C-alpha cells in the first residue's frame, strides 16, 4: 500500500516508450504530466502529428517535444515523437514499452522485439493477449523480462479482485466485468455504434473516439476478448457457447453468478461471464456494473455464512455467495499503477498463466466467397469466447487473425469461422500474420496453433498443446 511513496522516492524516473498514441495513451498523457517519477522518453505513432496533437489537447507544452532524438530526450527530460517503433524498442534508455496500437499482429511483433531487447512490456492491446497471451508470457520469461496487462483496463482490475479473494482464502466462483448488452448489438457496425452507445456524433468527434474501436465493445467482441484474458490469467473457465450476459444490478451479481443447479447461470464454479446493465426489453437497470468489474466468492462453511450475515454482507438468497466489485475502470488514467508496479516492485499487473479460453470470429451476416473480413468492431465479424479445447478441436479462426482475410467459402450469419475457410492475411507493414504464427507457434499455419499432435510431427520452437488438465499449456 505504499506504491506512491516508493515511486516518489526513486532516485531517477522510470523511463518508458509508448507505441500508439490513441485514446488509451492520450488518457495516460493527461496523467503523466503530474507524475514526475515517470518519464515518457519516446512516443511512436504511424501519424506522429496526431500524437503531438493529442498530447497538446491534454495539456502538454510544445517545448516538451523540442528534441531531435531519443538520447537527447532522455538526457533533457523531454519526449521524442516519431514513427519509428524499432528505434524506440532498441534504445538503451527505455525500461518499459507500453504497446497501445490495438492491432494484435503489430502488437505481437512489438512485444517480441521488446523482449529481445531486454525491455519489459505493458500490453494494452488485449486482442493480442487473447490470441497468444500465454505464449507471450513465456517468451518474456525466457528473456528474463516482465510481460503485463495494463492496469486501468478491466482484465487487470478483475484479476486483482480474484487475487484478493484467493489470497484471503476464498473460493472464487466467477469473475468478470459489466457491459451494456442487448442481443441485437451483436450486429452493430461503425455506422450504428453511437446511437446504441448513447453518444451524439458531436460528442464522439469531440473526444476523437474511433467508431470501429467503440463498436468492438458494443457488439460483444471486446467483452469476449477481455473475458478470455481474464480466464487465461486467473485460470478460470469459459462458457461453452459464449457469454450469457445476464441482466442485473450490482446487488444481483451473487444471485446470477452461481451454478445453474443453485439458481444461477454458471455451468460450473470458477467461470468468467459478463453482467448486462440492460433488461432484455431494453430498460436501464439501476446501480449497474456497466463500467466496472466484479468477483463472486463463497462461504464454504457455516461459520463464514454467519460472518456474512453478521456483517450485513449482500449475498444470494442462500447466504452462501457474495461479491466484491469496483464500479468504475478509468482506462489509461490508471496506467501508472502498472508502470510503478513493474518499475519498482518488478511485478506484473496480470499476465496469462494458461490457455483456457479463446476468442473466435463469428459472422455478423451472410458472407460471400471473396469478401474481406475487417476484424473486430467492423462490418463482417464479431468475437465470441469459447473454451480453448473447443476452439482447438474445431479449428476456429481467432478473432485476432480475422482482419484483411479473404473468405474461401460462404459463411452463414451467426456461424463461427474456421481457419480452413479463410485465406492467409496479407502483410501488415513489415510483419505478416504468418510471421507472427511462425515466431510464436512455430508454423505459418493457424492449424499449428490448433493442432494437438504437432510436437510429434514437427520440430517446433513453440506450440499450443493440451495438458493433462483442462488448461492448455505452451510447450517451448
**Residues 6+ positions from 161 with CB-CB distance below 8 Å:** 175, 293, 294, 295, 324, 325, 326
Read off the pLDDT of each residue in 49-76 and give the average, rounded to a whole number.
97
For 467, other C-beta atoms within 10 Å of its C-beta total 12
**Residues 6+ positions from 307 with CB-CB distance below 8 Å:** 299, 313
Distance CA 309, CA 303 (A): 10
Mean per-residue pLDDT over the chain, rounded: 89
Confidence of residue 157 (pLDDT cuts 50, 70, 90): very high
Model confidence, pTM: 0.90
For 183, other C-beta atoms within 10 Å of its C-beta total 10
Q: Chain centroid to CA 239: how far?
A: 18
**Residues 6+ positions from 80 with CB-CB distance below 8 Å:** 41, 42, 43, 65, 67, 68, 69, 70, 72, 73
Give pLDDT tens digits for 252-262: 999 999 999 99
With 80 as the cut, is the pLDDT of residue 152 above it? yes
Task: Give DSSP secondary structure letters for 394-445.
Answer: HTBPBGGG-EEEEBSS-B-TTPBPBGGGB----EETTEEHHHHHHHHHSSSS
Task: Give DSSP secondary structure letters for 278-306.
Answer: B-TTSPBPSS--TT-EEEEEE--SHHHHH
With 90 as the cut, is the pLDDT of residue 312 above it? yes
Instruction: Say which residue the cell 452462501 belongs to.
Output: 320
With 70 as the cut, is the pLDDT of residue 116 above it? yes
Look at 144-153, 420-429, 435-444, 454-463 and tell me which has the smallest mean pLDDT. 454-463
With 50 as the cut, is the pLDDT of residue 456 above it? no
pLDDT value at residue 228: 98
Helix (H, G, I), strand (E, B) or coil at 446: helix
- Copy the grid coordinates of residue 444: 505459418
- Copy the grid coordinates of residue 449: 496453433
With 50 as the cut, is the pLDDT of residue 459 above it? no
Confidence of residue 441 (pLDDT cuts 50, 70, 90): low
Give pLDDT tens digits for 358-380: 999 999 999 999 999 999 999 99
Confidence of residue 419 (pLDDT cuts 50, 70, 90): confident
Q: What percent of the chain has pLDDT over 70?
A: 88
Distance CA 131, CA 385 (A): 11
Confidence of residue 434 (pLDDT cuts 50, 70, 90): very low
Looking at residue 377, the DSSP 8-state letter turns out to be T
Read off the pLDDT of each residue in 347-352 and give the average, rounded to a whole number.
98
With 70 as the cut, is the pLDDT of residue 247 above it? yes
Stretch (H or E) spanning 90: helix 85-90
Read off the pLDDT of each residue in 99-105 and give the average, rounded to a whole number.
94
**Residues 6+ positions from 34 with CB-CB distance below 8 Å:** none
- Going by C-alpha positions, the residue among 440, 437, 422, 348 that lies closest to residue 139 is 440
Read off the pLDDT of each residue in 345-366 and give the average, rounded to a whole number.
97
Give pLDDT tens digits for 195-218: 998 899 899 998 888 999 999 999
Confidence of residue 424 (pLDDT cuts 50, 70, 90): low
With 60 as the cut, is the pLDDT of residue 455 above it? no
Distance CA 308, CA 80 (A): 54
CA-derived radius of gyration, the chain: 22
Distance CA 391, CA 292 (A): 28
Sign of CA dihedral 285, 288, 291, 296: negative
With 80 as the cut, is the pLDDT of residue 405 above it? yes
With 70 as the cut, is the pLDDT of residue 345 above it? yes
Amino acid at each position: 500500500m505504499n506504491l506512491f511513496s516508493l515511486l516518489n522516492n526513486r532516485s531517477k524516473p522510470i523511463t518508458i516508450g509508448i507505441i500508439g498514441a490513441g485514446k488509451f495513451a492520450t488518457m495516460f498523457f493527461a496523467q503523466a504530466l503530474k507524475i514526475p517519477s515517470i518519464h515518457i522518453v519516446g512516443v511512436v505513432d504511424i501519424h506522429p502529428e496526431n500524437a503531438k496533437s493529442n498530447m497538446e489537447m491534454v495539456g502538454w507544452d510544445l517545448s516538451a517535444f523540442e528534441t531531435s532524438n531519443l538520447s537527447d530526450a532522455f538526457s533533457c527530460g523531454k519526449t521524442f515523437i516519431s514513427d519509428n517503433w524499432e528505434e524506440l524498442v532498441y534504445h538503451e534508455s527505455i525500461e518499459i514499452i507500453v504497446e497501445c496500437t490495438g492491432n494484435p499482429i503489430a502488437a505481437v511483433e512489438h512485444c517480441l522485439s521488446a523482449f529481445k531487447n531486454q525491455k519489459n512490456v505493458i500490453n494494452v492491446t488485449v486482442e493480442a493477449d487473447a490470441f497468444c497471451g500465454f505464449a507471450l508470457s513465456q517468451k518474456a520469461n525466457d528473456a528474463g523480462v516482465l510481460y503485463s496487462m495494463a492496469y486501468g483496463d478491466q482484465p487487470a482490475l478483475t484479476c486483482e479482485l480474484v487475487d484478493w479473494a484467493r489470497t484471503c482464502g476464498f473460493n472464487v466462483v466467477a469473475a468478470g466485468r459489466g457491459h451494456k448488452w442487448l442481443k441485437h448489438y451483436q450486429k452493430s457496425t461503425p455506422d450504428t455504434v453511437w446511437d446504441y452507445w448513447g453518444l451524439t456524433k458531436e460528442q464522439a468527434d469531440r473526444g476523437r473516439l474511433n467508431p470501429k474501436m467503440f463498436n468492438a465493445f458494443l457488439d460483444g467482441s471486446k467483452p469476449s476478448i477481455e473475458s478470455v484474458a481474464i480466464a487465461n490469467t486467473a485460470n478460470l473457465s469459459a462458457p461453452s457457447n459464449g457469454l450469457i450476459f445476464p441482466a442485473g444490478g450490482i446487488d444481483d451479481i451473487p444471485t446470477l453468478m452461481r451454478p445453474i443447479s443453485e439458481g444461477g447461470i454458471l455451468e460450473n464454479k470458477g467461470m468468467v461471464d459478463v453482467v448486462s446493465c440492460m433488461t432484455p426489453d431494453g430498460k436501464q437497470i439501476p446501480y449497474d456494473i456497466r463500467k466496472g468489474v466484479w468477483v463472486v466468492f463463497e462461504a464454504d462453511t457455516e461459520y463464514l455464512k454467519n460472518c456474512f450475515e453478521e456483517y450485513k454482507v449482500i449475498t444470494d438468497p442462500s447466504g452462501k455467495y457474495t461479491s466484491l466489485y469496483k464500479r468504475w475502470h478509468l482506462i489509461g488514467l490508471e496506467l501508472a499503477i502498472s508502470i510503478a508496479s513493474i518499475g519498482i516492485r518488478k511485478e506484473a499487473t496480470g499476465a496469462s498463466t494458461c490457455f483456457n479460453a479463446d476468442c473466435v470470429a463469428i459472422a455478423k451476416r451472410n458472407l460471400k466467397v471473396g469478401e474481406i473480413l475487417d476484424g473486430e468492431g467492423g462490418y463482417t465479424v464479431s468475437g465470441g469466447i469459447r473454451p480453448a479445447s473447443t476452439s482447438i478441436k474445431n479449428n476456429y479462426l481467432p478473432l485476432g487473425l480475422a482482419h484483411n482475410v479473404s473468405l474461401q467459402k460462404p459463411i452463414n450469419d451467426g456461424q463461427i469461422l474456421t481457419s480452413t475457410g479463410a485465406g492467409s492475411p496479407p502483410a501488415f507493414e513489415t510483419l505478416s500474420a504468418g510471421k507472427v504464427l511462425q515466431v510464436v507457434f512455430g508454423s505459418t499455419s493457424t492449424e499449428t496453433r490448433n493442432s494437438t499432435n504437432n510436437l510429434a510431427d514437427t520440430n517446433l520452437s513453440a506450440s499450443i498443446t493440451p495438458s493433462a488438465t483442462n488448461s492448455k499449456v505452451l510447450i517451448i
